[in-house]
Structure 1
Amino acid sequence: MLTEILEQPAAITRTLAALLPASDDVRHLARGRTQVLFAARGSSDNAATYGRYLSEIVAGRAAAHLAPSVATAYRRDVDLRHALVVCLSQSGETAELIETQAWARRCGAATVAITNVARSSLTSGADLALVTEAGPELAVPATKTFTAQLVGMAVLARALTRNAMDLRSAEDLAHVAHAVATVIAHRVDVEPAVRMLAGRPRTLVTSRGLAGAVAAEVALKLEETCLRPVPGLSYADLRHGPIAMVDDRTTALVLAPRDGAVLDGIAGIVPELRARGAAVVTIGGDARVSRSADVALPGPDLPEWLAPIGLAVLGQLVVEGVSRTLGLDPDAPRGLRKITETDPERPS
C-alpha cells in the first residue's frame, strides 16, 4: 500500500497525459445531454461523489448518483435520453456496473467508462472509455487508482463546461502531480496524527463539499485497514445527530481545502469537536483550522476544486500508518478482495 501511495505523482502525470486529449470527445458525446449520472461502488463511488460536485460547481450541469439496483435488482427502465451516464470501476470487471452500463445505453443514455484497465468489459461496452494510467495495483485498498479516478473526474468536469475554463485551470491541473509529490516528500510529518488516531478507540472523519468525498473515502479506508467502524460525514450531517457520539474517546479527522466556500464552516467545527472532548487532527485548511487542532498537517498547495486529490493522498498516508501501528496488514485487509461481487449469489 505504501509503495503504491508513493507512485501517485507519476500515476497522476500519466493519467493527465492520457485523458486530457479526450476532452473534445467528451464534449461531443455530451452534446444535448443536460444531466450527468454516476454509477459506482466502494472507493469508486466516493470518486463519483467528487465528480458530481465538480459537474455542478465547475461545469454547471445537474448531476446525481444512479442507483445500480434500479437496473440490476428492480430491472426497471428509465428515460435516460438526456443523460450522460458515467460508470467508474478500477478493474472494469465489476459485474453489477457492467450490467448497469448496458442498461443505461438501452435506456437511451450516452455512456462513459472510467477504469484503470484498457481491455476490460466496462471499456468495451461504453460509448467512450477514459482509461486512467495508475498502473497495476497490488494492495487491496485502492490508493493510486482512486486518485487517478479523481483526476479523471476533474478532466471530465473541465470538458463539460459550457464556457471553456480559463488557462489557469490547465495550469492548476499541471501542478497537481507536483503538489502530491510535495505531500509525499513530507510524509514523516503524519506520525503524530497516526499516534493520535491509534490511541483512541473511536474515530470519525468530516469535511464538506468537494472535500466531503475524500472524507468518506478516508473513513472507508480506516474501516478496511483498521477494522473499526468509522463514519465519514459532512460536518452539516454530523451536526444533525451523529455529533452526540463525540466524547473524550474520539479522534476527529477533519479535512479542509486551503480556500473556498466551505472553509469557514470547517474552521467552526474544529473547536466544537474539541469542546466535546475529542482530539482533533486536521489536514489542510488555513491558520484558523490549524490553530484549533491538536495535530495539524499542512494540506496540498492546490485550489479548492483540485484539493481533494492531495487531501486523499495525505489521508492514505495516515491510514496506512494507523493500520501498521495497530499491528494489522494494510496491504491485505481481512476478508477483502480486489474485485467485489455485490450480489454473488444473484442469478443474472
Structure 2
Amino acid sequence: MSNTPVPPHGQSSLHAVQVLGGGSSGSGVHVRSLSAGLVARGLRVTVCGPWSAEQGYGFTQAGAGFTGLDALTDAGSVASLRAATAGAALVHAHGLRPGLLAAVALRGRNVPLIVTWHTRVDVEGARAGLVRLMERRVARTAAIVLGASSDLVDRARARGARDARLALVAVPAPRRAPETGDGRRQKVRAELGVLDRPLLVTAGRLDAAAGFGPLLDAARRWRGLEPRPLLVVAGEGPDRAVLERRIAMEGLPVRLLGRRDDVPQLLSAADVAVLSSRWEARSLLAQEALHAGVPLVATAVGGVPELVGDAAELVPYGDPEALAGAVTGLLADPVRRAGLAAAGRARTAGWPTEDDTVAHVLSVYDELVQTILSERVDGPGR
C-alpha cells in the first residue's frame, strides 16, 4: 500500500478536493467510498458537486466537507470551485464536465489535477466535435488521467494525455437483505407474478445508449417460449413512453418497473440478468449480477469483457438474434446457469476492493505531491 501523503511538521493534513457532476450513479458511489477511505487515512476531503449528489450519497456523513455547485452558469460553478479549491494540495475530478470546470478553476495555480473518466460521452454531429475539444482540453490539462476501462485509457492518450492509467474502481459489496435465500427469492418473484415463469432482470436509464430497442427485439423472439419469460426493467428515462408503446403494441413480455432502489434484491430472484448497453466501462449491473451469482448475458462492449471475463455470455451489441439466443440457451440449460453463477462469484473475488481503490488513489496523490515538493526545492525541469 502506498504511503499516505504526510504534510510538513506543523501544517494541517493534506487537503484533497473531489469534483463530481450530476451524472452516473457509479461515479457517485465511487466518490462516496473514496472520500470515506481518504478521511479514514487522515486526509481532509472536500466534495464539490450538485446538492442532489450530497443528498443522494451523504458525503458529509463520510466525514468530508461539501460545497454545492448549483450555479445557473458554468462561470458561477467555476467561481464556487475556485473558492473551494483555495489552498488545496490537489484536485480530483470525476467525469468530463467536472474535469473541464476544474481545469478552468485551477488556471494559474500550481495545483495538480487528476481526472477519472468513468464513462464516455456519445453524441453525434456538431456536438461530437465539441466533446472532442472538451476531452482534449481535460486530457492535456490533467497531470494524470485515470480511466475506468482500458478503452478509456486509450481514448485519453489519443486526446493528448501526458499520463493515462487504468483506474481501480471498486463497488462496495452489496449489503445483505434482511431476508435471504429461497424465502426472499420467492417473495420477490411472487410480488412480480412470476412464480412459475423464468424471470429476466435488467436495469438502466431508459435511453438509446442502454440498448433497450434491440432488447425488445430480442424479447419478441422469446415470447413464444413456454412458459414465457418475463423481462423486468428497473429505471427511468426519456424513452419510457416509446418503450411502453412498443411493449403494448407488440404484446411483449416486458414490464417497466420505474426507478427502483432494490436492484440487488431483484437480481437475487432472477434466472438471468441482461445487459444490452451500447457501451459500458465498469457496468454496475454486471457487477451486481456477478456478486449475486446470477447468470449474465451482456454485450461485448467497452470494458465489459475485461470486467466479466468468461463469467458471462457475451454477445455483439445491436444483434437481437444473438441476444435472444443466448438468453433462451441459458434458460434451457440449468447446468450452464449454475456454472456461470459459480464463475461470477469467483470473478468478483479478484476485483479490487474499496481498500485497494483507496490505496491506489493515495499512491497517485503521493506521487504528485512529492513531484510538486521536489519542484519547489530544486526548481522545475530537474
Task: Please report the TM-score for the alignment, with normalisation by the length of structure 1.
Answer: 0.34
Larger Rg: 2
- Structure with the bigger RCO (C-alpha within 8 Å, sep 6+) is 1
Task: Please report the TM-score for the alignment, with normalisation by the length of structure 2.
Answer: 0.32
